[in-house]
């Protein structure tokens, strides 16, 4: 493998830079030239590529975002877009591509693989909605950001004896909401796919304040929103009907930013090196992941055909601990 390229795509995730840095330095150590593609698949189709050396990735391990920048591209989803991307890769004599991104980006990687181009995917998305890996790059940092916000919100919620709805990201997956709910000591967690019973919300809010709780914190996944109302709007209305004051905070993109945690720096580094190892070994059309602390490699096809799930053990923990 003489020439490796790397791109970051989709929702950026803290730790992507650690991964890019590892691909570059580990790739160079393996004797390859390494090329960085700017702005994901969009930049690839536009031939936005540059050669990277060790110094180009100096000092980036502690930076959030991605130095290669990211993008979402509708054109790349078309056969014409993918043909354009292939032409560019072949024009640069690239032998293998590392795609660092979320579920959508890995679908894109699968398309390139099916067209005969050697790819290895790296899961990076704060949503943790990718199968065959226990963690994706960025999840740990995002959770710590959410916890920091929850701790602060609890201070003001307690001062005013209010209920707060904290809406977190995650698309259709509830991992961030569930984990933040447990680790942040929420009184209620609302996950995608769960129907929210107004009477239960009212009963729980009343009961919590009667039991002497100074606040009532609900962590709600954005994916639990209905077509008519966001989950924050819905829950705020329900809580107000209990007679208690409610406020909502949509954490939004603050969850995607910030310096990566130690965990994400190490994970990004391990994934980047493993992706290079796989490319060099000709083990392509794969995604690297982590299971039981070990780096694993799974066919992209298998990854994309399976659905992510939430641990039953953690789901069972959330409710009793909220009391
Ligand atoms: P993420 O990778 O964070 O899940 P997206 O779902 O927006 O983010 O995907 C990022 C990009 O990957 C998309 O803009 C598109 O260019 C490409 N992509 C997504 N889904 C597919 C698909 N089914 N086939 C080909 N490319 C895809
Ligand atoms: O997939 C990561 C994510 O941050 C989701 O949690 C969120 O729904 C989405 O991306 C937001 O996307 P955008 O970057 O288009 O605002």
Asked whether residue 158 is domain-assigned, the answer is: yes
Q: How far apart are CA 145 and CA 143, in angstroms?
A: 5
Q: Report which bound ligand comes closest to the CA of 255.
A: 2
- Residues 134-180 have pLDDT tens digits of 999 999 999 999 999 999 999 999 999 999 999 999 999 999 999 99
The verdict on 283 and 174 lying in the same domain is: no
Distance 186 CA to ligand 2 centre (A): 23
The verdict on 134 and 147 lying in the same domain is: no
Asked whether residue 321 is domain-assigned, the answer is: no
Our CA dihedral for 224, 227, 230, 231, rounded to 10 degrees, sits at -30
- Residues 230-282 have pLDDT tens digits of 999 999 999 999 999 999 999 999 999 999 999 999 999 999 999 999 999 99
- Residue reference for tokens 């409710």: 319
Q: State the residue range of the domain holding 283.
A: 3-138+260-305
The verdict on 132 and 7 lying in the same domain is: yes
Q: How far apart are CA 174 and CA 221, in angstroms?
A: 6
Sign of CA dihedral 296, 101, 147, 209: negative
Q: Kindly tell me if the per-residue pLDDT of 294 is higher than 90.
A: yes
Asked whether residue 315 is domain-assigned, the answer is: no
Residue 319, pLDDT score = 81
Distance 105 CA to ligand 1 centre (A): 4
Q: What region, left, alpha or beta, does residue 230 occupy, with left being phi > 0 and alpha being psi -120 to 50 degrees?
A: beta
- Residues 49-86 have pLDDT tens digits of 999 999 999 999 999 999 999 999 999 999 999 999 99
Distance 297 CA to ligand 1 centre (A): 21
The verdict on 35 and 110 lying in the same domain is: yes
The verdict on 66 and 85 lying in the same domain is: yes
Asked whether residue 313 is domain-assigned, the answer is: no
Asked whether residue 323 is domain-assigned, the answer is: no
- Rounded mean pLDDT of 177-204? 96
Distance 112 CA to ligand 1 centre (A): 12
The dihedrals phi and psi of 313, each to the nearest 5 degrees, come to -65, -45
Atom of ligand 1 nearest to the CA of 41: 16
The verdict on 7 and 134 lying in the same domain is: yes
Q: How far apart are CA 89 and CA 9, in angstroms?
A: 16
Q: What is the greatest pairwise CA distance in the chain? A: 69
- Residues 77-135 have pLDDT tens digits of 999 999 999 999 999 999 999 999 999 999 999 999 999 999 999 999 999 999 999 99
**Cα 9 to the center of its chain, rounded Å:** 11
Q: What is the CATH number of the domain that holds 18?
A: 3.40.50.450
Which residue out of 16, 127, 177, 225 has the highest number of ligand 2 atoms within 8 Å of its CB and is therefore the one to mutate? 127
- Rounded mean pLDDT of 278-303? 98
Distance 23 CA to ligand 1 centre (A): 21
Collect all residues with Cβ–Cβ distance below 8 Å to 129 and sequence separation of at least 6: 102, 103, 136, 170, 171, 172, 173, 175, 308
The dihedrals phi and psi of 131, each to the nearest 5 degrees, come to -75, 165
The verdict on 242 and 155 lying in the same domain is: yes
Asked whether residue 94 is domain-assigned, the answer is: yes
Q: Whose CA is nearest to atom 7 of ligand 1?
A: 10
Query: Has this prediction a pTM greater than 0.75?
Result: yes
Asked whether residue 284 is domain-assigned, the answer is: yes
The verdict on 87 and 180 lying in the same domain is: no
Residue 175, pLDDT score = 98
Residue 320, pLDDT score = 83
Q: Report which bound ligand comes closest to the CA of 43.
A: 1
Q: Whose CA is nearest to atom 12 of ligand 2?
A: 11
In the chain, the number of structural domains is 2
Asked whether residue 316 is domain-assigned, the answer is: no
Q: How would residue 322 be classed by pLDDT, with cut points 50, 70 and 90?
A: confident
The verdict on 113 and 88 lying in the same domain is: yes
Q: What is the CATH number of the domain that holds 147?
A: 3.40.50.460
Beta bridge partners of 122: 100
The verdict on 128 and 265 lying in the same domain is: yes
Q: Catalytic pick from 48, 127, 140, 264?
A: 127
Atom of ligand 2 nearest to the CA of 176: 6
- Rounded mean pLDDT of 224-234? 97
Residue 153, pLDDT score = 98
Reading the block at residue 37, the tokens are: 């593609």
Q: How would residue 318 be classed by pLDDT, with cut points 50, 70 and 90?
A: confident
Q: Report which bound ligand comes closest to the CA of 74.
A: 1
The verdict on 163 and 232 lying in the same domain is: yes
Residue 323, pLDDT score = 77
The pairing of strands 294-299 and 216-221 is unpaired
Across the chain, mean pLDDT equals 97
Q: How far apart are CA 240 and CA 247, in angstroms?
A: 9
Q: How far apart are CA 60 and CA 49, in angstroms?
A: 19
Element holding 24 (H helix, E strand): helix 16-29
Residues having CB closer than 6 A to ligand 2 are 11, 102, 125-127, 169-171, 222, 256
Residue 183, pLDDT score = 97
Per the annotation, the verdict on 301 as an active-site residue is no
Which residue out of 65, 141, 169, 175 has the highest number of ligand 2 atoms within 8 Å of its CB and is therefore the one to mutate? 169
Q: How far apart are CA 6 and CA 26, in angstroms?
A: 12
The verdict on 49 and 181 lying in the same domain is: no
Q: Which of 83, 87, 97, 86 is nearest to 35 (CA)?
A: 97
Which DSSP string do the residues of 133-174 spell out, in sequence order?
A: -S--BTHHHHHHHHHHHHHHHHHHHHHHT-EEEEEE--TT--
Residues having CB closer than 6 A to ligand 1 are 9-11, 41, 72-73, 76-77, 101-105, 107-108, 111, 125
Which residue out of 78, 101, 107 has the highest number of ligand 1 atoms within 8 Å of its CB and is therefore the one to mutate? 107
Q: Whose CA is nearest to atom 25 of ligand 1?
A: 108
């Amino acid at each position: 493998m003489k020439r490796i390229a790397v791109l970051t795509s989709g929702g950026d995730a803290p730790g992507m830079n650690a991964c890019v840095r590892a691909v570059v330095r580990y790739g160079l150590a393996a004797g390859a030239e390494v090329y960085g593609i700017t702005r994901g698949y969009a930049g690839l189709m536009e031939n936005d590529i540059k050669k990277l050396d060790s110094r180009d990735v100096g000092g980036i391990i502690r930076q959030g975002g991605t130095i290669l920048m990211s993008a979402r591209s509708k054109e790349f989803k078309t056969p014409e877009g993918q043909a354009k991307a292939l032409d560019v890769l072949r024009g640069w004599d690239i032998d293998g591509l590392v795609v660092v991104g979320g579920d959508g980006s890995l679908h894109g990687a699968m398309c390139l693989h099916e067209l005969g181009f050697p790819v290895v995917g790296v899961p990076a998305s704060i949503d943790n909605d990718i199968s065959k890996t226990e963690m994706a790059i960025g999840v740990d940092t995002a959770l710590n950001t959410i916890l920091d916000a929850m701790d602060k919100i609890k201070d003001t919620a307690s001062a005013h004896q209010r209920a707060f709805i904290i809406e977190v990201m995650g698309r259709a997956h509830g991992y961030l909401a569930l984990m933040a709910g447990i680790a942040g000591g929420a009184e209620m967690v609302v996950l995608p796919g769960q129907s929210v019973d107004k009477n239960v919300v009212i009963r729980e809010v009343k009961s919590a304040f009667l039991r002497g709780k100074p606040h009532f914190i609900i962590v709600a996944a954005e994916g639990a929103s209905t077509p008519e109302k966001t989950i924050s709007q819905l829950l705020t209305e329900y809580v107000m009907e209990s007679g208690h004051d409610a406020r909502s905070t949509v954490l939004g993109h603050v969850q995607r930013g910030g310096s990566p945690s130690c965990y994400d720096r190490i994970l990004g580094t391990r994934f980047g090196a493993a992706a290079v190892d796989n490319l060099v070994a000709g083990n392509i059309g794969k995604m690297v992941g982590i299971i039981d602390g070990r780096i694993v490699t799974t066919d992209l096809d298998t990854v994309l055909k399976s659905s992510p799930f939430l641990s039953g053990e953690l789901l069972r923990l959330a409710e009793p601990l909220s009391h």
